[in-house]
Amino acid sequence: MGSPIDILAQTAINLPGTLSCGVNWGCDCAFRQKDCCCGAKQFMALEDSIYTRLVALRMELHDVEMQTEALTKNTHIAFSASMAARSDSFGPFTTNVPIPYTLIATNDGNGYNPALGIFTAPRAGVYSFAYTVYSSVGATGARLYHNIQLMLNGEVVASTWEDNREDPEDSGSQVVVLQMRRGCQVYMEMVSGRSLAGNTRSAYNHFSGYLVYPDDED
């Protein structure tokens, strides 16, 4: 297939009959039908007009792409981490301590710090967090005694606890949705004097979160 001007030229040549072309009779043109005018100047003007419009549309599209990139920047934020399996207990401690979830499945946006067990929001928005806690004392009659808290900037948002001698093992899960500003921190905390009993399984002690949608604050 030729260029647009070639297509127009071939169309003009193939037109049957005689056309009335006003003042442009018999002009010297590379393509013209007998007894018809030369349309080169008109075609060139049309081609220039189309090209100019295409350039303008491409610039407008580029502006839209830039605006979209600005709106979606740093929106791919998600993490998922688990505690490493251990044969001993995690805790008890004399003070509340963050729980280290060191086995990283994903950390898009690098908001989660596995060394500290803390997620720091890279940007403002609404976030969803979930956690699962599992503890096993291994024998009936032993005491299950744990208290796990989800913390936002040092304040308790949700907690899961157990204190009984009836079950050799127990688990619990929660999901919370939080409005956060950039720099806000979320982490899981073990309450002082409590412990996750021995034989904890990495797949059963899990902490995750992701950005649901961003705010315009950033």
Which pLDDT belongs to residue 168?
65
Which residue, among 76, 101, 94, 116, has the nearest Cα to 210 in the 3D structure? Answer: 76
Half-sphere exposure of 105 (CA within 13 A, CB side): 13
Strands (E), the chain: 78-82, 97-98, 103-108, 112-113, 118-120, 125-136, 144-152, 155-164, 169-180, 185-190, 206-214
| Cα(210)–Cα(112) distance, integer angstroms | 10
Which pLDDT belongs to residue 182?
93
> pTM for the complete prediction?
0.64
| Cα(38)–Cα(29) distance, integer angstroms | 5
The residue written with tokens 């997620």 in the block is 119
Which pLDDT belongs to residue 25?
44
| Cα(196)–Cα(133) distance, integer angstroms | 8
Tokens of 89: 């207990």
| Cα(204)–Cα(85) distance, integer angstroms | 9
Which pLDDT belongs to residue 42?
66
Which residue, among 160, 206, 211, 157, has the nearest Cα to 186 in the 3D structure? Answer: 157
Which pLDDT belongs to residue 35?
45
| Cα(66)–Cα(56) distance, integer angstroms | 15
Q: Are 205 and 163 in contact (CB under 8 A)?
A: no
The DSSP letter of residue 8 is H
Which residue, among 16, 18, 23, has the nearest Cα to 42 in the 3D structure? Answer: 23
Q: What is the mean pLDDT of each run of 10 residues along the chain (218 residues)?
A: 61 57 49 50 73 81 69 79 82 88 93 94 95 77 75 94 68 92 94 72 82 80
Which pLDDT belongs to residue 74?
63
Beta bridge partners of 147: 161
Beta bridge partners of 209: 79, 129
Close Cβ partners of 30 (under 8 Å, ≥ 6 residues apart): 9, 40
Which alpha helices (DSSP H) does the chain contain, by range?
Answer: 4-14, 40-72
The DSSP letter of residue 217 is T
